[in-house]
A and B are shown apart, each in its own frame.
Chain A
């Protein structure tokens, strides 16, 4: 049974991807994709039911993985040579040499380390990848159809596209289930390659440029990862993640020798999670078709980065290094939230908000208390759902109105009421109680309690976060009273939107259950204590209390009452807005009656506070500071 489940979640996507690559029949592709999505989702749920496990597949696979490693590295090297990118060339050469040393000279007995192991953290990750990721893949069917019609392609590029999308899911599942770090390294490089291919999918000049940037930054991370595990092999003498987690703390306390490999691995995680100064690869990735952005931002890629950081947190708990990780995370959280506030491009707002939330997760890993790790895991979960939802909404909106600028989404409710409402649900679940994201943020802030510098950055950052979400939600509502006609949408687009919106609400409602059955056990395993008691399903600790069900009940009732009151408003009770001028309404849109009887439509725009949040000005400083913190982290923390 277990073998089958691991096979389905990890290997099946690789096989399906291969089929999709050669298949050109659209309808069959659709069926295969939906079926794979369903199978993956079910398998991940079944795996969750089974609980923790350790597994070693046949030794043959070890050889295959090694072979795969070299294949990927040579492909990357080839890309580097073709693009004449010196960084990519030399970094991949360094990796090839490193891997030869590690594989053939350092690791003596291949195959005596279990390849896979899963605890609740891995299982939660598999769940996110297999359900949220699959939904995005399904959304891709409808989206890519319209996307290619729009581009007037003579030959569909969808086979490649879905090849890499589905491959990505398998690689991510492999990554989070891997116990042998060599295996993890293979999957790590797989995701790098997949993201490179997907970002460059549209093959425009900007797509090629941004894909190349994503590649060199992630290859840098990959190099750090490889040298990290080489050093780990030297210090601990094993590449078994389980054993490192069990024995790591001894090394961390003893002399700090383990902190250099830890730094390298955490650094690799930071590049993959697009933390400053590497944020530009993720903001550049938005040139790709929307399903790619959704996938990179929510359930895969960047989540691999934070996964490794949270995964290794118990090893470096209680060290100076950990404090620096927390500081770094809190700083990037604040800085990228400011960058998001200065943007009017919807996808860019989402991109910076992703980086900001990932930074918060990293800060939690750095704070490294049971409560903080709980916050980190819950943030990973809730962020994946809500952010996937937001990206899919922006994708659908963009295809309809031809713009991703939030200024163009004014009054969107009149044009696409359903998508607008789903997007507003997405925004609410990102920033307001009683939803999961906010609850996890509450945990994060309370666990930073006592560390004032962290606290200041988290406080400022969450203020800025509310600013950019709130105005986006507000301006979509700005419509005249006339009843909006529901928009037509492909079922493969609509279903994922509805399912994700439903998940965002329902999973938040069951957050005490999620905590009790998935998060508390793993935190207890590594930290010997669970941070919260759950009286009546409320999160209670000596430091604070979060009322889940009372809030859901009261706010829910209040909202229902408010909705009923709003429904009572009749068309006769609707009036024109106050414009302080002679008013004229044309096509239901208010405006002024100008000189010579000309109609002057009303126009308004958001404050983007360029002087505080301007991207070009801020980015420079953010990169310098982030780099400085990283250097201090290496020399002050690790050595």
Chain B
């Protein structure tokens, strides 16, 4: 019980900081790939501190509520992951945040916010089934949906579920809205979308959303780490390689349409899942 509480507090405090650092590194590597110098590693934190100091402005009071519920959902799902709770439960709590983010966007009549909200729903429609399938596959191997059961495995999940790891990667690219799936919102303003779901959030509320995003980065990388649960070094290497791959994909691809995203996510997700399951049965 005590360890769980310590882990929970660690998750609450350390996760966003780590997430900020990773985002900072992401920006540096992206800059390097684009032959720029790039901002300091701590820039995301400076950005958020500056946002927090600004006067709150909204177009609709519900947006303030939605921004805060979004961060609560994101933080709580990281806490659940760190305390070894249930994978599906983590997923559902994550959905709470995602749903409120969209509701906040839909609450504003701005066309960019509206289209961002609608597209974010499509992103959710694409990644949610994939995540559930990945969790179900993990449960096939460990016999339980509990995160703690993963750590009782004697060999890394990646051996049994290599294809599911690809499915997870696909889902995570959509979840983190990395290119080519930065359909509902992009890291920087683009003219056809402005900032999609984020368009109407500003000041401290945007800061909340940024911090929530850091939590989500950690959650996502934590889920990746589960695939090499047997050693800490293995986890770090797997996560680092995966994130590096994400950054490269982010930089070399252009935004795709939501139709392509939906069809490819469902099609590829189902095929890879079925093949992986057959392989698991054959073993």
Cβ of B121 and Cβ of A543 under 8 Å apart? no
CB-contact partner of A463 in B76, B86, B129, B144, under 8 A: B129
Stretch at the interface among A15-23, A73-81, A194-202, A452-460: A452-460
Q: Does B111 contact A (CB under 8 A)?
A: yes
Q: Does A438 contact B (CB under 8 A)?
A: yes
Cβ of B266 and Cβ of A470 under 8 Å apart? no
Considering the chains assembled together, what is the distance between the CA atoms of A607 and B183 in angstroms?
Answer: 14
Q: Find chain A residues with CB under 8 A from B103 CB.
A: 470, 473-474, 477
Q: Does B92 contact A (CB under 8 A)?
A: yes
CB-contact partner of A481 in B60, B87, B92, B128, under 8 A: B60
Nearest B residue to A612 by beta-carbon distance?
B262
Contact code string A549-589 (vs B, CB < 8 Å = 1, else 0): 00100110011011101111100011111111000000001
Of residues 79 through 137 on chain B, the ones whose CB sits less than 8 Å from some CB of chain A are 79-80, 85-89, 92-93, 95-96, 99, 102-115, 117-118, 121-122, 124-125, 128-129, 132-133, 136
On whether A577 and B200 interact (CB within 8 A), knowing A432-B92, A471-B106, A477-B106, the answer reads yes
Q: Does A83 contact B (CB under 8 A)?
A: no
On whether A562 and B68 interact (CB within 8 A), knowing A432-B92, A579-B110, A612-B262, the answer reads yes
Considering the chains assembled together, what is the distance between the CA atoms of A575 and B203 in angstroms?
Answer: 13
Q: Find chain A residues with CB under 8 A from B124 CB.
A: 463, 466-467, 470
Nearest B residue to A450 by beta-carbon distance?
B140
CB-contact partner of A455 in B65, B92, B133, under 8 A: B133
Q: Find chain A residues with CB under 8 A from B88 CB.
A: 442, 445-446, 544
Cβ of A459 and Cβ of B133 under 8 Å apart? yes
Give the shortest distance, in Å, between B139 (CB) and chain A (any CB). 5
Of residues 582 through 612 on chain A, the ones whose CB sits less than 8 Å from some CB of chain B are 589-590, 602, 604, 606-607, 612
Of residues 2 through 34 on chain B, the ones whose CB sits less than 8 Å from some CB of chain A are none
Contact code string A534-550 (vs B, CB < 8 Å = 1, else 0): 00000000111111000
Contact code string B205-234 (vs A, CB < 8 Å = 1, else 0): 000000000000000000000000000000
CB-contact partner of B144 in A467, A473, A543, A574, under 8 A: A543
Cβ of A558 and Cβ of B121 under 8 Å apart? no
Contact code string A267-284 (vs B, CB < 8 Å = 1, else 0): 000000000000000000
Cβ of A466 and Cβ of B95 under 8 Å apart? yes
Q: Does B51 contact A (CB under 8 A)?
A: no
Q: Find chain A residues with CB under 8 A from B55 CB.
A: 573
Q: Does A38 contact B (CB under 8 A)?
A: no
Q: Find chain A residues with CB under 8 A from B140 CB.
A: 449-450, 452
On whether A463 and B56 interact (CB within 8 A), knowing A546-B89, A559-B69, A562-B65, the answer reads no
Main SS at interface, chain B? helix
On whether A575 and B95 interact (CB within 8 A), knowing A470-B103, A543-B139, the answer reads no
Cβ of A578 and Cβ of B199 under 8 Å apart? yes
Cβ of A578 and Cβ of B145 under 8 Å apart? no
Cβ of A566 and Cβ of B61 under 8 Å apart? yes
Q: Does B194 contact A (CB under 8 A)?
A: yes
Contact code string A169-187 (vs B, CB < 8 Å = 1, else 0): 0000000000000000000
Q: Does A464 contact B (CB under 8 A)?
A: yes
Cβ of A442 and Cβ of B72 under 8 Å apart? no
Cβ of A565 and Cβ of B57 under 8 Å apart? no
Nearest B residue to A446 by beta-carbon distance?
B145
Considering the chains assembled together, what is the distance between the CA atoms of A473 and B59 in angstroms?
Answer: 18
Give the shortest distance, in Å, between A393 (CB) and chain B (any CB). 17
Cβ of A478 and Cβ of B108 under 8 Å apart? yes
Considering the chains assembled together, what is the distance between the CA atoms of A464 and B69 in angstroms?
Answer: 22
Q: Does B143 contact A (CB under 8 A)?
A: yes
Chain A interface residue bracket vs B: 35 or more
Q: Find chain B residues with CB under 8 A from A432 CB.
A: 92, 95-96, 99
Cβ of B58 and Cβ of A574 under 8 Å apart? yes
Nearest A residue to B274 by beta-carbon distance?
A452
Q: Does B64 contact A (CB under 8 A)?
A: yes
Cβ of A478 and Cβ of B106 under 8 Å apart? yes
Cβ of B125 and Cβ of A467 under 8 Å apart? yes
Give the shortest distance, in Å, between A484 (CB) and chain B (any CB). 11
Q: Find chain A residues with CB under 8 A from B104 CB.
A: 474
Cβ of A545 and Cβ of B128 under 8 Å apart? no
On whether A542 and B110 interact (CB within 8 A), knowing A463-B124, A470-B99, A565-B64, the answer reads no
Cβ of A460 and Cβ of B58 under 8 Å apart? no
Give the shortest distance, in Å, between A174 (CB) and chain B (any CB). 38
Q: Find chain B residues with CB under 8 A from A561 CB.
A: 68, 72
Q: Find chain A residues with CB under 8 A from B118 CB.
A: 471, 606-607
CB-contact partner of A574 in B57, B73, B89, B129, under 8 A: B57
Considering the chains assembled together, what is the distance between the CA atoms of A602 and B108 in angstroms?
Answer: 11
Q: Find chain B residues with CB under 8 A from A433 CB.
A: 89, 92-93, 95-96
On whether A543 and B107 interact (CB within 8 A), knowing A471-B118, A480-B60, A481-B60, the answer reads no
On whether A474 and B68 interact (CB within 8 A), knowing A466-B95, A544-B145, the answer reads no
Q: Does B238 contact A (CB under 8 A)?
A: no
Give the shortest distance, in Å, between B23 (CB) and chain A (any CB). 23
Cβ of A481 and Cβ of B76 under 8 Å apart? no
Q: Does A475 contact B (CB under 8 A)?
A: yes
Considering the chains assembled together, what is the distance between the CA atoms of A471 and B106 in angstroms?
Answer: 7
Of residues 155 through 206 on chain B, the ones whose CB sits less than 8 Å from some CB of chain A are 194, 199-200
| Apart from the given pairs A478-B106, A544-B86, 8 other A-B contacts in the complex at a CB distance below 8 Å | A432-B99, A449-B140, A449-B145, A452-B140, A478-B109, A562-B72, A576-B59, A604-B115
Provide 13 A-B residue pairs closer than 8 Å at the C-beta atoms, listed in order of the A residue: A432-B92, A452-B277, A466-B99, A470-B102, A474-B102, A474-B106, A480-B59, A542-B144, A544-B87, A573-B58, A574-B59, A578-B110, A578-B194
